[in-house]
């Protein structure tokens, strides 16, 4: 879960990239970076921290040029190193900088190929650097002094042939333009748009449409699975499908939790999809407990608010804000270490006692991952005087790890792994546990784009849409993602550390 942006404009792009990264900050709060291009020179700034912490006035003044790319990285397991901040850069061929959202599932194989066949050195454990070197090698192999759009698309085609997983990529080629592409399953989102200025038309590619909106760009469309777009320095736009086998199977968790509600992804309004999730939850309540005794529905801020409100409206039950959120605490399910997570929940939320006292309360959250937050929230509701505490999740049980760019816990640390809904309810301490059905979740999203018939639902059903995820890969993932490994600092970057063991052997 990272955010990317790329712009080709008629004037300096540093401020526009800064603004875009700021509205994509929900996709990553760990590190930020930007590369701009002026003539044949790159200007780079990246570091750990929020966007407004990484880019000070002195840095912005040095980020010259009319095209550039940016990246925000989310907090990942273990200690964080600024060496893993993106974009990454290679000087051959031409000079290429790249940023990426997602994860490659064959990083170990690729890192070996890069070292032994491509004769390239990988300096970090990031799969983003691996992806950059694959792209750079394939572009260099064409042997062109001045690459055309067709040459760039040929290189992207080879990237698709070699790389497995989910990824959305934006790259800048010194003096030529910006290229962006999406994996053949369209798992991770990527859109592009344009705006008209007195100097001419400018273009932006980004993870979410909200980045376009806030800077005055008009959304053109989503990139199709396997499609690449190249925008040269003169503002000419070229697009081409670069993968032989494609299917649109976007990540369902984007609509549940990751994306901003004011974004449109693959033609679907995230806000409207979340409203429908609330309606579906209400319908399930009517089926399972038609004579319910719910007095009030209270959302766990912020993502679940939309679903909770529609659930309350559909049931004819009062909707109330019962928790005050401290907005300066990060998302807890991706924080390293159980102790830190437990501490952060009490810092993040505080109940309003008047909304709980002597009431049967239905708490609504977007999803339940570890159960750490949910368990403490239920306890807070009881301490605030609730007579009964029910708990509803707008998403089904999260039982399996994500391998396409969301650094979720190891499977054994997911509260739903190996438990029934009733057992989960008992674990978190609620009187009734209600989960969304997977078919209802799919229907909530596809209602607004019936053309999408398949989603990446791996965290719910363990089905990996790329068809390339092996049991041995999942076992290695389990070893790296458990809290013991994180405490030891074994995982130190965005995405999965498949290349870490290989690098230690090579070096």
pLDDT in tens, 242-295: 999 999 999 999 999 999 999 999 999 999 999 999 999 999 999 999 999 999
User: Is there a binding annotation on residue 303?
Assistant: yes
* Count of CB atoms situated within 10 Å of the CB of 143: 9
**213's tokens:** 């909106």
Are 434 and 284 in contact by the 8 Å Cβ rule? The answer is yes
User: Is there a binding annotation on residue 262?
Assistant: no
**pTM across the whole model:** 0.90
Helices 372-383 and 421-428: crossing angle, nearest 10°? 60
* Count of CB atoms situated within 10 Å of the CB of 221: 13
Distance CA 313, CA 190 (A): 33
Residue 14 has pLDDT above 60, yes or no: yes
Residue 478 has pLDDT above 90, yes or no: no
Distance from chain centroid for Cα 220:
21
User: Is there a binding annotation on residue 246?
Assistant: no
Active site positions, annotated: 2
Task: Give the pLDDT confidence of 149-205 residue by residue, as tens digits.
Answer: 999 999 999 999 999 999 999 999 999 999 999 999 999 999 999 999 999 999 999
Phi, psi of 28 (to 5 degrees): 180, 125
Query: Which residue is associated with the tokens 């032989």?
Result: 244
3-state SS, residue 98: strand
pLDDT score, position 500: 32
75-89, 232-246, 449-463: range with lowest mean pLDDT: 75-89
């Amino acid at each position: 879960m990272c955010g990317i942006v790329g712009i080709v404009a008629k004037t300096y792009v540093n401020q526009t990239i800064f603004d875009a990264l700021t509205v994509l900050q929900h996709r990553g709060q760990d590190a930020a970076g930007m590369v701009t291009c002026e003539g044949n020179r790159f200007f780079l700034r990246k570091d750990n921290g929020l966007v407004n912490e990484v880019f000070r006035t002195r840095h912005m003044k040095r980020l010259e040029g009319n095209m550039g790319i940016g990246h925000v990285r989310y907090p990942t397991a273990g200690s964080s190193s600024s060496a893993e901040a993106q974009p990454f850069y290679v000087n051959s061929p031409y000079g290429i900088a790249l940023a990426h959202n997602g994860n490659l599932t064959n990083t170990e194989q690729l890192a070996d190929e890069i070292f032994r066949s491509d004769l390239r050195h990988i300096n970090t454990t990031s799969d983003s650097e691996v992806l950059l070197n694959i792209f750079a090698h394939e572009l260099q192999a064409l042997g062109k002094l001045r690459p055309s759009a067709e040459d760039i698309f040929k290189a992207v085609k080879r990237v698709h042939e070699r790389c497995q997983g989910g990824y959305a990529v934006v790259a800048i080629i010194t003096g030529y333009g910006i290229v962006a592409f999406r994996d053949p399953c369209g798992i991770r989102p990527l859109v592009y748009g344009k705006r008209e200025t007195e100097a001419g038309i400018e273009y932006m590619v980004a993870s979410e449409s909200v980045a376009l909106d806030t800077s005055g760009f008009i959304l053109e469309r989503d990139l199709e699975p396997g499609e690449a777009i190249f925008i040269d320095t003169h503002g000419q736009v070229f697009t081409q499908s670069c993968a032989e086998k494609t299917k649109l199977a976007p990540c369902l968790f984007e609509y549940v939790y990751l994306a901003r509600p004011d974004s449109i992804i693959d033609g679907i309004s995230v806000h409207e999809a979340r409203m429908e999730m609330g309606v579906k939850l209400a319908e399930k309540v009517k089926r399972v407990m038609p004579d319910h005794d719910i007095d009030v529905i209270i959302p766990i801020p912020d993502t679940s608010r939309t679903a909770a409100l529609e659930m309350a409206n559909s049931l004819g039950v009062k909707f109330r804000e019962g928790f005050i959120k401290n907005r300066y605490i990060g998302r807890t399910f991706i924080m390293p270490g159980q102790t830190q997570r437990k501490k952060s929940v009490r810092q993040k939320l505080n109940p309003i006692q008047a909304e709980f006292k002597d009431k049967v309360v239905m708490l609504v959250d977007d999803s339940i991952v570890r159960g750490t937050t949910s368990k403490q929230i239920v306890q807070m509701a009881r301490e605030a005087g609730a007579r009964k505490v029910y708990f509803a999740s707008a998403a089904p049980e999260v039982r399996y790890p994500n391998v396409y760019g969301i650094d979720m816990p190891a499977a054994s640390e997911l509260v739903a792994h190996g438990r029934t809904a009733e057992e989960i309810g008992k674990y978190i301490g609620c009187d009734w546990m209600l989960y969304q059905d997977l078919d209802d979740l799919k229907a909530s999203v596809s209602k607004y784009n019936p053309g999408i018939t398949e989603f990446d639902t791996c965290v719910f059903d363990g089905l990996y849409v790329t068809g390339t995820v092996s049991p041995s890969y999942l076992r290695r993932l389990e070893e790296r993602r458990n809290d013991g490994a994180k405490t030891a600092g074994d995982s130190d970057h965005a995405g999965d550390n498949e290349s870490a063991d290989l690098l230690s052997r090579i070096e």
